[in-house]
Structure 1
């Protein structure tokens, strides 16, 4: 099959099955290379550093125990790793599924007024909603009601605390956090190394080196935590308050933010991801991982970007399979991972999470406040994204519903009443 034929083998809209059989052992051997295996390993290393630090931050805000946190990490790596491995193999393209980082931030904020079982119940409802939207084709209709700038302004507001915590960590501990920032800047400014090595991974190594030199580890902080352990299952509790506060924002972060970004990355690399299949699988797996305390599953944009950065396009599915297999290994060692991260100072985790979120924060602000070409001559910039951002950052809670929900409501109303733009801006493909 030619490259053109391979690109047309997948339907990006309907429930699509691959037109070629999954590769056999001989084809796997032919496709396997140092480049693709290395890309898969790099994708997992990225996911196990900054994004895990975001989970730790959310768990810390919500007062979760180390066992609950380890179970969360187990779920997002083991079950999503299996999904990544299988789907990448079946569709012959890298399809890395992990978890919604904006959703993780929202969960951390919600845990200040919701019980953990209530949050898990909202996870389940979110998964069911995503399946319904994906299988019925209602995704596009729903997203037309929520213009991209409003959604991304909500995301920017949720991410903002990571940027401010990064600044605070540097001023509080320049020897550790400052070293990590310098390492990130050096790699990020290198046209040669940035495409090959994630800057946040170099920051992690630089931070660990600084901790060794300054004797900054605190092993006593992790002395009571297990190195191994089974995940802790949570019985979901369904409440209107939790569902109203989390379900719609979580579903939006999966469908509009994460899956949209991941699909765009894959298209740019020459793949044609089956969007409906991805949406439905995200919903189904969100339900499956929920009892472990794991936040909703989604197609991972940054990880897929790493998987498609090297190698021939038709062989990049190997990177996806390696990524999935190694993710399972990381998930099985979740207690040890939590133990290691607990033994480092807060400034290390805050700097790592902040650096991991920096590009996402920049992208959210650009998408929220960047004027499209057709509005460049507008006499007055749209007000709705600013209102959405302010309501999100305020942390306000009304009628038991949190700031992200009300931010979306206020943003849409502002767009309709003051801007007259709701639903008119083109949604991403």
Structure 2
């Protein structure tokens, strides 16, 4: 790839590192809650990373935009609860129905129409609310390990200060190098318990039970379309990209259907990881970061059995720090787009509801942020709606 740069490679590595740590822990927790076997868990992890990696590469190369396809994080939480009350095969049946529903909605074009009607500041208010905790994580990481993480943060600040002179050396790469050196000296990581083994994915035959479908499909559908995909689309718009909404929805549906037969839950556009990949001055070549991330995800998926031990080895505070630093630019841009034009009150309520992390009807706060922000804006900012009407 001639368009590859050190910045794009570093963004791809950070996005990959983010995707195999915190989000994976939620999958592991849900699998434990549902009592899945090691082979079932291995197949689940194999699919979400292999399918996500392949679709990230394909979509990013075709549309020349940094499109990160992954798996629904709040969806994994919903699945964990459902697995505790329903059989694995019944839940897989609900996965399949969810995937086909997402695909049909994408083919109908209704999603792109809804997103065109939804005011951008309200959407960006939701995105800002989702991303704010990642910024706060920087402070949390400094509190957890002030000396080492403080040195990493200081390195990032120094490299940012001299960024005009060091255009080809991204500050996040310098932070990662310093982190590797400091942790190897002061917090050495043991690799004794890690053994390499290749994944052996399983194909599962679904069963369809009305009670399971009623409990799983609608919440999972909303987390994919109105929470995860809306984040990714909003972030790309905030970074001056033109995201292919219908295609992103279609492929989320196709990826979800494929995942289903391997015992894995829904595929979607990954908001925070898309933000990491899109945060570059070289907008025309940002897509290569997603390609590198996709390659790394495929490799990780092939060695899914080591995921549990590998995830437990990487220090949590380091992931919090690097993820927060990588998303700083995107958080700044989304906040600016939320509050520098019309619909400011709607954007504020969208932001506040999302940050509150409330949950209602098994649906997370980002969705209710969009709903509540739109309603408040419609009541309090009628003139703004008239101007765009």
Specify the TM-score bucket, using the shorter chain as the normaliser.
Answer: 0.7 to 0.9
What residue in structure 2 maps to residue 25 of structure 1? Answer: none
1:298 partnered with 2:266: no
What residue in structure 2 maps to residue 47 of structure 1? Answer: 15
What residue in structure 1 maps to residue 377 of structure 2? Answer: 415
For residues 163-194 of structure 1, the C-alpha deviation after alignment (integer angstroms, 9 at most, x for no partner) is 33331221120133223322332343443587
Count of residues in Structure 1 that have an aligned counterpart in Structure 2:
374
1:406 partnered with 2:368: yes
Report SS of the residue matched to 1:49.
helix
Compare 381-390 and 226-235 and name the one that shifted more.
Answer: 226-235
Report SS of the residue matched to 2:21.
helix
Query: What is the CA-CA distance between 1:39 and the residue it aligns to?
Result: 7.7
Report SS of the residue matched to 2:327.
helix
Q: Structure 1 residues 153 and 262 mapped into 2: Cα distance closer, same or farther (>3 Å)?
A: closer
Question: Superposed, which structure 2 residues align to 1:181-196 within 5 Å?
Answer: 181-192=153-164, 196=168
What residue in structure 1 maps to residue 179 of structure 2? Answer: 207
8 Å Cα contact 1:43-1:304 kept in structure 2: yes
1:252 partnered with 2:222: no
Q: Structure 1 residues 252 and 201 mapped into 2: Cα distance closer, same or farther (>3 Å)?
A: farther
What residue in structure 2 maps to residue 24 of structure 1? Answer: none
8 Å Cα contact 2:198-2:303 kept in structure 1: yes
Question: Superposed, which structure 2 residues align to 1:9-408 within 5 Å?
Answer: 33=2, 36=4, 42=10, 44-56=12-24, 58-59=26-27, 74-86=46-58, 91=62, 94=64, 97-99=67-69, 103-104=72-73, 106-107=74-75, 115=83, 127-192=99-164, 196-217=168-189, 223=193, 227-231=197-201, 238-259=212-233, 261-262=235-236, 276-290=246-260, 291-293=262-264, 295-298=266-269, 301-302=274-275, 305=278, 309=282, 324-336=294-306, 338-368=308-338, 370-372=339-341, 375=342, 382-408=344-370
Distance 1:84 1:99 in 2: 5
**Gaps in structure 2 of 5+ consecutive residues:** none
Distance 1:54 1:180 in 2: 20
TM-score if structure 1 supplies the norm length? 0.67
Report SS of the residue matched to 2:68.
strand
Distance 1:420 1:214 in 2: 58
8 Å Cα contact 2:255-2:266 kept in structure 1: no
Report SS of the residue matched to 1:285.
helix
8 Å Cα contact 1:61-1:111 kept in structure 2: no
For residues 115-138 of structure 1, the C-alpha deviation after alignment (integer angstroms, 9 at most, x for no partner) is 586997776555434423332222
**Gaps in structure 1 of 5+ consecutive residues:** 1-31, 376-380
8 Å Cα contact 1:228-1:335 kept in structure 2: yes
Calculate the aligned-residue CA RMSD, in Å: 4.5
For residues 130-150 of structure 1, the C-alpha deviation after alignment (integer angstroms, 9 at most, x for no partner) is 423332222332124432222
Query: What is the CA-CA distance between 1:207 and the residue it aligns to?
Result: 1.9
Q: Structure 1 residues 199 and 218 mapped into 2: Cα distance closer, same or farther (>3 Å)?
A: same
8 Å Cα contact 1:227-1:336 kept in structure 2: yes
Flag the structure with higher helix content: 2
Distance 1:240 1:416 in 2: 31
Q: Structure 1 residues 355 and 100 mapped into 2: Cα distance closer, same or farther (>3 Å)?
A: farther
Q: Structure 1 residues 288 and 353 mapped into 2: Cα distance closer, same or farther (>3 Å)?
A: same
8 Å Cα contact 2:351-2:369 kept in structure 1: yes
For residues 87-137 of structure 1, the C-alpha deviation after alignment (integer angstroms, 9 at most, x for no partner) is 667x4x646543368x53x44775786658699777655543442333222
Distance 1:148 1:160 in 2: 18
8 Å Cα contact 1:44-1:327 kept in structure 2: no
Compare 230-239 and 128-137 and name the one that shifted more.
Answer: 230-239
Distance 1:283 1:79 in 2: 12
Distance 2:121 2:299 in 1: 38
